[in-house]
Chain A
Amino acid sequence: MKPRVLVAMSGGVDSSVAAAILREQGYDVVGVAMRLAPEPSAPAVSAPIAKRRGTCCSHDDFEDARRVAERMDFPFYVIDLRADFAARVVDNFVSEYLGGRTPNPCVMCNREIKFDRLWSRARALSADYVATGHYARIAQGADGRFHLLRAADDSKDQSYFLFTLGQDELARTIFPLGAMTKTEVRARARALGLATADKPESQEICFVPDGEYASFVERRSNPAQLRPGSIIDSDGKRLANHAGVHRFTVGQRRGLGIASGERLYVREIRAESGEVVTGRRDQLDSSGLIANRVSLVDDSLASVGELSVEVKIRYRHRAIPATIRVDSGHRAEIRFATSGPAVTPGQACVFYRGDEVLGGGFIERALEAV
């Protein structure tokens, strides 16, 4: 009997194929769908069906996953992680926005739910591995150390969201899709007759299916927590009022509600005073950043001192050359080789060397341009 692997299934094509591939390889596959977001409230149920699709955790999605499990003949269960998800992902998402930062809940969900909470469940179920439909690769070196690598399909690469995984996690994780392209995954799903073969991609954050982050944050916080204030220019001159810092993201241009001769961007968000500082495009440039809660895929790298790497400071950004220095308090100073683009506090800064993820952290603040 091959080892038991717990496969996290969303009902989408990627995790369906991941589970199917492992089953074909002879693993003792146990499929689980994680119930994460709260049930949609009553009005959402009567929304047009087209609007209800594509959000994670819906009844339809779980039924799709169940069909895949039946087709591929492995057991499937729905598990309820709503309380953990609310406490460790959603509350963090809200408090980050209230603090003037722009969180990445997918990174948090991987760190707190899929590779922590789900792993405990895997052990409870005697599973040796956890698998997901992420596009990323894991390789083991001759020295036995594990390496986290970009996916073969660069356009789908999700290694950015996985930087928090360390040696212990990588040793018991399988990413069956890491070497495949999305086209190959869909073709495989069709060849296997999986019901999910042609499902559309989910785009938005699963617990905010309408993409309206600001109103989500407002619903999940009390009015006293919101930080309304002024939009100011670089000289401190007030340009307009705003209803709360959670409505802004550093680097944002649209939706500032200001008529101005030149294009204005959000440069800085001062949550304490409620000030949103704007500036010209070139004023967004920075020389680097400070990251906190830094983790390294291989801890032995921390002793190296200064490292030359490439860093990705947003999922959709290209990695840029930089030097990093990680201190003992899980903080790092990152200096870009050339002055870099807008640094958005709250986002993940992930360290790469070529195709390999070395680690990463969460952006605390930008360093001034030199």
Chain B
Amino acid sequence: MLEAARAQVAAIVGTDPRRIVFTSGGTESNNLAIFGAITVSRRRKIISSEIEHSSILAPLAELERRGFEVVRIAPDSDGRVDPARVLDVLDSETALVTLGLANSEVGTIQDLAPLAARCTRIGALLHIDAAQAVGRIPVDVASLNCDLMTLSGHKLGAPAGIGALFVRDSARIAPTVFGGPHESGVRAGTPNLLGAVAFGAAAEAALNAMGTESERIASFAASLLMRLRDAIPGLRWNGPPVGRLPNTINLTFPGVLGESMLIALDLEGVEVSMGSACAAGAVEPSHVLRAMGRSVAEARSSLRISLGWSNMAEEIDAAASIIPAVWRRVADAEPQSEVSAR
């Protein structure tokens, strides 16, 4: 059963099942990729970007504390990381290049294909965090030619607690969890069989539905966006017009606090998200939007709407009427002058 699940997961990124290491989730996969790569290298430099997920940024901050050099490339105002700028800083001191394939907050898809050849030539490992992208857009390890790739189960609809790391057969990484010889010696611990089976099933379903599901979600997103723009003057859409995940809509709402919108919408049954939650459960302004040049006030007025396989047309209709009504109420009750309508 475990091996059948491994084959299903391997298929969604077009690889051999033997290259798939099951982990406890995207966070562990990212940690394993980063710490596993730097442990086997004598090099002290890592290249990444300013808009990565916290499970990349936090390990990198920890490595910086331990004396490693971390270079974080700034994105453009649409959240694109220019591969040329990555190649500019790539040198023979670089142990690892680690970048997200699609941004979790604004949905920008990165052009990472130009990186592999130079990384291989210079001897740096290329790790791609594809947790957000897999299942939403076609992802192929052969064309990206990366050494390591992170996959997350729950992003595809599997329960939380299962993820995977693709490890190219030529790539050498050290384990971060030590114990028995499970998962080719890269990740000790009896694998989470139930999670893996669910992950495999979710991966297969996502692969089968890829074309139609992407189209369905993209048309939902377009319809919702058009109706919100008509109803909310000054609404700003964050992210590139093309080259983005179909399901992720990141919007700056004029004159309101995103935190208030988020709570008000939640009470109305519309789940959205914003920035990242702190330990105490409050929301911090998005580091991704800040890196894209938005002000703190703009970041605080921004929300992310994620559409998924479970969404129905009626829910899109409901959201299209609830969100503008909530926006008007919040703007009236708690106006924020710093973010004016444009």
Q: Name A residues whose Cβ lies closer than 8 Å to a Cβ of B.
A: 30, 32-33, 35, 39, 57-59, 62, 66, 75, 77-80, 120-121, 123-126
**Contact between B333 and A120, CB atoms less than 8 A apart:** yes
**Most chain-B Cβ atoms within 10 A of its Cβ — which of A33, A66, A80?**
A80
**Contact between B279 and A59, CB atoms less than 8 A apart:** yes
**Contact between A124 and B267, CB atoms less than 8 A apart:** no
Complex CA–CA separation, A53 to B156 (angstroms): 40
**Contact between B264 and A126, CB atoms less than 8 A apart:** yes
Complex CA–CA separation, A266 to B45 (angstroms): 61
B91 CB-CB contact with A under 8 Å: no
Complex CA–CA separation, A66 to B330 (angstroms): 24
For residue B330, which residues in chain A have a CB less than 8 angstroms away from its CB?
Answer: 124
**Most chain-A Cβ atoms within 10 A of its Cβ — which of B266, B279, B333?**
B333
17 A-B interface contacts by CB (under 8 A):
A30-B263, A32-B263, A33-B280, A35-B280, A62-B280, A62-B281, A66-B281, A75-B266, A77-B281, A79-B282, A121-B333, A123-B332, A123-B334, A124-B330, A124-B333, A124-B334, A125-B264
Complex CA–CA separation, A79 to B283 (angstroms): 8
**CB proximity to A under 8 Å, residues B229-264:** 259-260, 263-264
**Most chain-B Cβ atoms within 10 A of its Cβ — which of A66, A77, A79, A124?**
A124
- Rank and list the top 6 A-B pairs by shortest CB-CB distance, nearest first: A123-B333, A78-B281, A124-B333, A80-B282, A78-B282, A124-B330
Contacts A124-B330, A124-B333 given; does A77 touch B280 at CB 8 Å: no
Q: Name B residues whose Cβ lies closer than 8 Å to a Cβ of A.
A: 259-260, 263-264, 266-267, 278-283, 329-330, 332-334
**Contact between B280 and A125, CB atoms less than 8 A apart:** no
Complex CA–CA separation, A75 to B269 (angstroms): 11
Task: Write the nearest CB–CB distance from B153 to chain A, whole angstroms.
Answer: 26
**Set A32, A78, A123, A124: member contacting B280, Cβ < 8 A:** A78
Closest to A123 in B: B333
**Contact between B282 and A30, CB atoms less than 8 A apart:** no
For residue B334, which residues in chain A have a CB less than 8 angstroms away from its CB?
Answer: 120-121, 123-124
Task: Write the nearest CB–CB distance from B301 to chain A, whole angstroms.
Answer: 13
Closest to A35 in B: B282
**Contact between B282 and A125, CB atoms less than 8 A apart:** no
**Set A59, A66, A80, A126: member contacting B259, Cβ < 8 A:** A80
**Contact between B329 and A124, CB atoms less than 8 A apart:** yes
Closest to B283 in A: A80
